[in-house]
Amino acid sequence: MSAIEQGILGAIAVCIAATAALWWLAMPDEPVRALQDGLGAAALATIIAGAAVRRSSD
């Protein structure tokens, strides 16, 4: 599995974990907001993974 694929899978895992944690712990009555916050976490994880891949290829 390439580093890019690992980064994508990591971002997906962060999205799922962040969404579940926010929904169950912080916002059980606001699933839409929890999903939005989880997607924001996934976007941040994707940026971090992309930067790590770019740095390791240099």
Is the confidence at residue 3, as pLDDT, over 70?
A: yes
The predicted model scores a pTM of 0.50
Helices (H) and strands (E) in the chain, counts: 2, 0
Rounded CA separation 4/11 (Å) = 11
Domain ranges for the chain: 10-57
Torsion of CA 14, 16, 22, 27, to 10 degrees: 160
pLDDT grade for 58, boundaries at 50, 70 and 90: low
The pLDDT of residue 15 is 74
Is pLDDT above 70 for 57?
Answer: no
